[in-house]
């Protein structure tokens, strides 16, 4: 069982989101064989990134990629497993892992922002240049406004990508480990909402406002997921056809205002969950 985590550790140095999803899926399969097996095999995941960081992490970009593999991927899966071992339910474990991504993402931006931001700007400029070539009559003012708005949000983009990868892995973990609990049978824990409320005052501090804009969207991912689950349940109570439900959800998600509404719905719904950690899930 050590070979797959070892290979995923190497993959994480190149594609952290894919590696995180695959590692969560592998851990779910291992948990199905024995509940303690994932914690015994996950250590192999860290071998290649840590050795590479020790011997080949001389330049900044290498340090970023290798640290992403260790702290942004492997440590996140480990947090999820440790939370389950501590008795948390799977939704709560996912919540702690998501917070791990956000904390690391903000520290990542603080530590290496001066090196990563120019690369992100260059990538955006290249993407918009291709758009100009494809669509000749595109409004230049729109491009510049979009660049100005998006350019400073690269930490949030990285965190959201990792959270989405974690969520896919979370679904696969539950499926492979046969955790005896439907995916959205329980709300995500209400204590998570307190973290969202805690970052709101940062908006009123000019020197920290950028951290507010980069922290809030990733923090809102869990309420958004919760809101989608609530909306899906309501739609399912009206329409029995899965095809109809999928079409309705797709139409809803085509409107960006719906994202805000679903996030607010999820935020409100999560208050129904107790603030204390609940007894953990048990793979069957």
pLDDT of residue 142: 64
Does residue 161 form part of some domain?
yes
- Number of folded domains in the chain? 1
Does residue 236 form part of some domain?
yes
Nearest to 177 by CA among 273, 94, 90: 90
Does residue 277 form part of some domain?
no
Nearest to 101 by CA among 51, 39, 164: 164
pLDDT of residue 181: 63
Does residue 275 form part of some domain?
no
Nearest to 225 by CA among 155, 153, 166, 157: 166
Does residue 129 form part of some domain?
yes
CA 137 – CA 17 distance, rounded (Å): 35
Domain range for 105 is: 3-270
pLDDT of residue 254: 86
CA 17 – CA 108 distance, rounded (Å): 16
Does residue 184 form part of some domain?
yes
Question: Taking a C-beta distance cutoff of 8 angstroms, is the pair 106, 155 a contact?
Answer: yes
> CA torsion 167→168→169→175, rounded to 10°?
110
Regions of the chain with pLDDT less than 50: 275-284
In tens, the pLDDT along 46-88 reads: 999 999 999 987 889 999 999 999 999 999 999 999 999 999 9
Phi and psi at residue 283, to the nearest 5° = -60, 140
CB-count burial class (<10 Å; 0-12, 13-18, 19+) for 97? buried
Question: From residue 2, how far is each of 14, 34, 168, 178 by CA, in Å?
Answer: 20, 14, 22, 21
Does residue 284 form part of some domain?
no
Does residue 64 form part of some domain?
yes
pLDDT of residue 278: 43
pLDDT of residue 277: 39
């Amino acid at each position: 069982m050590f070979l797959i985590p070892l290979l995923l550790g190497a993959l994480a140095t190149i594609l952290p989101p894919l590696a995180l999803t695959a590692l969560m899926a592998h851990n779910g399969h291992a948990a199905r064989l024995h509940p303690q097996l994932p914690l015994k095999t996950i250590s192999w995941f860290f071998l290649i990134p840590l050795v590479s960081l020790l011997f080949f992490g001389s330049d900044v970009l290498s340090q970023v990629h290798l640290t992403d593999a260790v702290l942004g991927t492997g440590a996140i899966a480990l947090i999820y497993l440790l939370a389950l071992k501590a008795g948390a339910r799977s939704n709560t474990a996912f919540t702690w892992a998501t917070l791990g991504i956000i904390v690391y993402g903000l520290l990542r931006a603080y530590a290496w922002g001066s090196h990563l931001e120019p690369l992100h700007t260059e990538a955006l400029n290249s993407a918009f240049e291709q758009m100009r070539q494809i669509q000749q009559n595109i409004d230049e003012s729109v491009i510049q406004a979009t660049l100005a708005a998006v350019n400073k949000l690269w930490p949030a983009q990285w965190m959201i990508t990792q959270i989405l990868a974690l969520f896919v892995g979370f679904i696969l973990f539950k499926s492979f480990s046969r955790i005896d609990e439907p995916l959205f049978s329980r709300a995500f824990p209400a204590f998570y909402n307190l973290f969202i409320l805690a970052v709101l005052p940062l908006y009123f501090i000019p020197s920290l406002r950028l951290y507010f804009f980069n922290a809030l969207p990733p923090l809102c991912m869990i309420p958004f997921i919760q809101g989608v689950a609530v909306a899906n349940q309501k739609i399912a109570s009206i329409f029995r056809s899965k095809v109809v439900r999928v079409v309705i959800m797709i139409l809803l998600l085509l409107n960006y205002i719906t994202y805000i509404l679903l996030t607010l719905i999820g935020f409100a719904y999560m208050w129904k969950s107790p603030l204390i950690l609940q007894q953990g899930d048990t793979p069957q």
